[in-house]
Structure 1
C-alpha cells in the first residue's frame, strides 16, 4: 500500500517564528497519516510501547527522587519550615524533573527508532513512495545503519546531559526560571529530536551520517526546531507518547519533503527559493 503524502508548499524566506510554525505543522501532517494509512502507522506502536516502558521507569524514578533532592538542597541553605526553604525545595524539584524529561524524551525517541528500525523505515518509505527521484533501495545494510545509530545516539545523549543541567540551573531563576527552563529544553531538545526523526528520509537522499544531517538541517534550523519542539511538547502529554511516535516519524519525513533543497521540491518548483 502506498501513501500519497500531502503537498507541502515551500515557504518564502521569512521570520524564524514563521519557519518554526511551518515545522510544527509537519508534525500535524504526521498525525494525519494515521487517517491515511492506519495499518502502516500501526507498525510503529510496538517499538514505541517498548521504549515507553523504559521511559516510564526513568520518569517515575525522577519524580520519586525530585522531592528528596529538593529537600536535601534546601536543608543546607535555609532553616526548615521557612519560606525560602520551601521555594528552593520546589525549584530544585521542578528543575530536576525538567532535566530528566529532556534526557528521557530524547532517549525514548532514539531507542524507539533503534528497536523499531524496520517499522519506522517502512512508514518513511511509504510516504516517499511516489517520489521518482529517490532510490528504492536503502543506501546501507540495516545492521550497519543500526550500529551507526547506536554510536550517534550515544554522542547525542552525552550532549543532552549538559543541556539538562542548563535547564536545571535556569529553573533556579526567580519568577521566569521555570518558563526559561521549559523554552530551553523544548528548543534544544527539539533540535536533537529533529536530527533523530529525519535520519531515515535523509538517508534515502544520500545524507547518512549525523554530521551530514546537521549540515542539511542547519540552513533550516528554525523549521527543524519548530518540528522537534512540537514533538517534545506532545511527548510530555501522559499517554500520548506511544501513539505519537509513529506520527513523529511520519512528520520527520514530511519535514524533509518540505525543505526547499529536497529533490522532490526541485522537480515540482525548480525556481523556488534555495
Structure 2
C-alpha cells in the first residue's frame, strides 16, 4: 500500500511544528560547544543593559498612558474606566513587545556578529555544510546589515500599531494580539536570525532571504514564533540568543536553501551544496 500523502491542511501545521522544534534543537548546541555558546551570552547582556532603561521607562509610564487612553472613551469616575484601562495597558504592551523583541535581536546580532558567526559556522560544519564565506567586505557587510535591520524595524511599526488596535477589542483582543504578535514577530526574527547562515548559502540581500524563506513560510514562522515566545521570558532574549542563532542555522540546513550557482560561476563564493544535494 502506498504511503498516505499528508493533507494540504495538515502539512502547514506539521511544517510549523517542525520549525518550532528546530528552535528547541538549537539549545542542544550547548552540549556540543558550551564555551562557544557561552561567548554568545555577552552581546545579549550588553544589549539588555542598553534596553533596560527603556523597559523601565515604559513600565513606569504605562499606567498613565492607559488611563489617558481609557479617559478618551469613558469618564475617569466610572467603573468602566478601570476595565478599559486594563485593556489599553495590554494593547500598549502588545505593540511595544513586537518592536522591542525585534530591536533587541537586531542590536544584539550586530554587537555580537563575530561570536554569532562562529556559532553558525560550527553548526553548519557539524551538519555537513561547508559553504564559503560571503564574498563581501566586512565594513560593507556591516553597513548593509544595519541598513536592512533599520528597514525591518520600520516595517514593525505599522504592525505594532495594528496590534495596538486589535488589543483594544474587549475580551479577545489581548489573546488575539499576542498570537498575531508571535506570528508576525516570528517572521521578522527569522529574517534577522538567518541572515548569516543564508549568506553562506548564497542569499546575501534581504530580498533574497525573504524570497527563499517565503517558500517555507509555515516552517519559518513556527521557528520564529517559538523564539519570540522564549524571548518574552524575563532575560530570555539574552539567555536564548546563542541557541536561537544555532537554531537558525539548523533551520536552513538543507539543499533547498542553497542558491544555485550560475553556469559560468566557477568560484565557491555563492556557497557549496551540502552532501546529498545532487539527489
TM, length-normalised to structure 2: 0.87
Report 1:159-238 matches (<5 A): 159-238=155-234
Alpha-carbon offset, residue 262 of structure 1: 4.4
Conserved 8 A contact 1:20-1:227: yes
Q: Are residue 268 (structure 1) and residue 276 (structure 2) matched?
A: yes
RMSD: 2.1
**Residue aligning to 1:252:** 248
Partners of 1:156 and 1:75 lie apart in 2 by 33
SS of corresponding position for 2:252: helix
Conserved 8 A contact 2:198-2:257: no
Conserved 8 A contact 1:103-1:160: yes
More deviation, 159-168/72-81: 72-81
Partners of 2:212 and 2:60 lie apart in 1 by 40
TM, length-normalised to structure 1: 0.89
**Residue aligning to 2:134:** 138
The structure-2 alpha-carbon separation of the partners of 1:73 and 1:261, relative to structure 1 and needing over 3 Å to count, comes to: closer
Alpha-carbon offset, residue 175 of structure 1: 1.4
Q: Are residue 31 (structure 1) and residue 39 (structure 2) matched?
A: no
Report 1:67-86 matches (<5 A): 67-86=63-82
**Residue aligning to 2:61:** 65
Partners of 1:208 and 1:41 lie apart in 2 by 24
**Residue aligning to 2:13:** 17
SS of corresponding position for 1:23: helix
The structure-2 alpha-carbon separation of the partners of 1:201 and 1:70, relative to structure 1 and needing over 3 Å to count, comes to: same
Conserved 8 A contact 1:66-1:94: no
Aligned counterpart for 1:156 among listed residues 152, 176, 185:
152
Alpha-carbon offset, residue 45 of structure 1: 1.0
Partners of 2:207 and 2:98 lie apart in 1 by 22
Partners of 1:105 and 1:78 lie apart in 2 by 32
Alpha-carbon offset, residue 269 of structure 1: 6.4
SS of corresponding position for 1:101: helix
Larger radius of gyration between Structure 1 and Structure 2: 2
Question: What 5-or-longer segments of structure 2 have no aligned partner?
Answer: 1-5, 260-271
Partners of 1:268 and 1:83 lie apart in 2 by 66
**Residue aligning to 1:51:** 47
Partners of 2:147 and 2:273 lie apart in 1 by 31
Question: What 5-or-longer segments of structure 1 have no aligned partner?
Answer: 1-11
Conserved 8 A contact 1:234-1:241: yes
How many pairs are equivalent? Answer: 261
